[in-house]
Structure formats: C-alpha cells, structure tokens
Amino acid sequence: MENLNEMLPLVMQGAIIITAIVRLTIIIVRKFIGVFNNLLDINHYSRSTTRSAGNQYTRSVNTSANSNTRHNSVRNETGPVVYFANNPHGSSDKKYMFNYKKVDGSWRAYILRMPSLRGRDPSGVVTHRLFDNDEPYVCWDSDVDTLKGIQAISKVWADNIQEYIATGKTFG
C-alpha cells in the first residue's frame, strides 16, 4: 500500500503533463488552421456527402481558428464540392467536383473534375463548357442569382454529361 501512495503523486503529475500537452496541441492546430485560412482567404468551405442515387447534401463548415467569430462578408466562393451523377448506364466513374464562384454578380460552376469523355468530342460547344483563363465552367444561357440555382444547374449538367459519355447523345 505504501508503494501505491508513493506512486499517486507521480501519476497525478503525469496526468497534468499529458493534459498540458493535449491543450498545447489543440492551440497549435487552431493557430495553424487560422494561418492556413488567412493565406487562402477562405473562412468557410463546403463539404458534401453523396448517396448512390446522385443526391447531394452540402453543409457549410466553419474552419476559422475562432469559431465564435462572425463573418459579415458575403461568400463569393464555396470551395470544392463533390457530386456523384445519376448513373443509369452503370459507368464506374461518375464523380464530379465543382467550385462555385460568384463572378460579376452571377454564380458559376467551375469544373474541377469530371470523368473522361472516353473518346467523345470534348469541345466546349458539345459539352456546354465555357472557359475563364483555361478554367472550364458550366455554360448557362442566363445569369444565375443564387448558389442553390447554380448547384441545381451543375447537377443537371453532370447527369447530361454522363448520358453523353455513355450514349453519345448531346443535350441542350
């Protein structure tokens, strides 16, 4: 019993040291995230999860160092958002990635990733893509005022690209 009583202060000191290390690690990680966000000038990003039917659920996640900070600036960009297109033809690749940006008051869906066209005509006219400094985005015939609107448009576009890849059927 005496050995146990002698060890108790050592165990308590060890617990205090471990707690201090964990707290210090949390502070360092928070500082790193804050510095990283300031470098990119992005305080929020969208993370999406998908289901096999092609449905997309997007939620905003605050990644700033101080989550209690309110940001009054209007978000003009979402960051990468993944969508798995509806896939009636069973293609193994149905993953699309978009970055939604507001440009001159209208939302655009910049295409960060799309499946290979597997030999189909890749022209912007056929695939309904426009380019901004070699960055492709979904072509739409009018201004899009809301983020939800451009997200819906990009989903329809991705589903149509899947059909084009599988059958060659053009759209629009």
Q: Give 88-105 pLDDT, tens digit per residue.
A: 999 999 999 999 999 999
pLDDT at residue 163 greater than cutoff 50: yes
pLDDT tens-digit map of 126-159: 999 999 999 999 999 999 999 999 999 999 999 9
C-alpha–C-alpha distance, residues 42 and 62, integer Å: 10
Residue 146 DSSP symbol: -
pTM of the model: 0.59
Task: Answer whether 27's CB lies under 8 Å from 61's CB.
Answer: no
Alpha carbon distance 165, 53 (integer Å): 18
- The 10 Å CB-count burial string (b at 16+, else e) for 13-48 is eeeeeeeeeeeeeeeeeeeeebeebeeeeebebbeb
